[in-house]
Amino acid sequence: MQLIAESIRFSNPVPSPGEKVRIEAKISNADEEPCSFVAVFYWAPEIIMSPQQAAMYATPEYEIHRQDVELRGRESISISFEWEAKEGFKCVFFYAK
């Protein structure tokens, strides 16, 4: 399974703590084969630059949204949800589980 987060966009990229933000993510299956997974989105108080950093924040405390996804080969999906920004927010990332 080769997934690509083509974009993650925010209605306000610099929200105040407690402000509601709409997050839109486009995820693509770069493989020819269909796939099913759960897209789990997390927030972090720092910009994620390594798998080790991501692993620190991929916990229930930082989880903000999860969604079951099924994609055919070379297909994309847009996922949109609302989230209340937390104190110290710097980025959002996702894992496919």
What per-residue confidence (pLDDT) applies to 28?
97
Cα–Cα distance between 80 and 87 in angstroms, integer?
22
pLDDT, residue 76, reads 97
Predicted local confidence at residue 1, as pLDDT: 78
Q: What global pTM score does this model have?
A: 0.94
User: What is the DSSP pairing of strand 35-44 with strand 3-10?
Assistant: unpaired
User: From first to last of its 97 residues, what are the pLDDT tens digits of the chain?
Assistant: 799 999 999 999 999 999 999 999 999 999 999 999 999 999 999 999 999 999 999 999 999 999 999 999 999 999 999 999 999 999 999 999 9
